[in-house]
Amino acid sequence: MCGRFSQAQVAELDREVFKLLEMPALEPRYNVAPTQPAAVVRGTQDGAREMALLRWGLIPHWARDPAMGARLINARAETAESKPSFRDSFRSRRCLVPADGFYEWQKTPHGKQPYYLRRNDGRVLAFAGLWDRWRDPERGPVDTFTILTTEPNDLVRPVHARMPVILPEQAYDRWLNPRAGARDLRALLVPYRADEMDAYPVSTYVNSPRNEGPECVQPQHA
């Protein structure tokens, strides 16, 4: 699964790579947690792209209880196309979730050790995401998202049994293309190349979603 990630560099990401005309003012985030707002890139009705803050944890548009969003922070890539909670979004509401990296917790005899995983060139990556719009009867529309997960690559496997789907830059257009076919989309939902990533242990400071700042991603030394 992917239960925590960072967006510290999102305000500085390459607008040309993501084809964004405008960039909102964003505060760096080192410890994005479920139910919190995070930046995503999605298509607009006029064919452009926008970056917007959406709440992490997808609430299907048909949901009666918005609390279910807290359980839908991830969608399995193998079943998202057919699962009722995600299939409408898979068909027509796909997004990119920019991130510097993500955290996973490895089980050890001494407890769970958090690891930070990222591209080894330090550049911003993008998770494959889905979004939906739920209408609160009192407060109006609420836009939420989920992150697709897949089998781990060789780097992630010793740490965790799942990893987020990380899309290569050349796949961004295909993922956001509203006319993309299901077969083309499924072909993108594979583990990212292990030789283009690195992982290192970090402090348990990151365990609490209340903790923020660069301390979250600093390597932990033995």
Residues 159 and 117 sit within 8 Å (Cβ to Cβ): yes
Query: Active-site residue 95, yes or no?
Result: no
Q: Which residues pair with 219 in a beta bridge?
A: 202
Q: Choosing from 2, 95, 212, 216, which is the catalytic residue?
A: 2
Parallel, antiparallel or unpaired: strands 94-99 and 74-76: unpaired
Query: Active-site residue 2, yes or no?
Result: yes
Give the three-class secondary structure for 189: coil
What are the residues whose beta carbons fall under 8 Å from the beta carbon of 173, sequence distance 6 or more?
A: 19
Q: Which of 191, 186, 188, 164 is nearest to 78 (CA)?
A: 186
Q: Which amino acid is at 153?
A: N
Q: What are phi and psi of 16, to 5 degrees?
A: -70, -40
What DSSP string describes 162-174?
A: -EE-BPPGGGHHH
Residue 3 to residues 41, 70, 121: CA-CA distances in angstroms? 19, 11, 23
Q: Choosing from 50, 81, 104, 169, which is the catalytic residue?
A: 104
Catalytic residue ranges: 2, 104
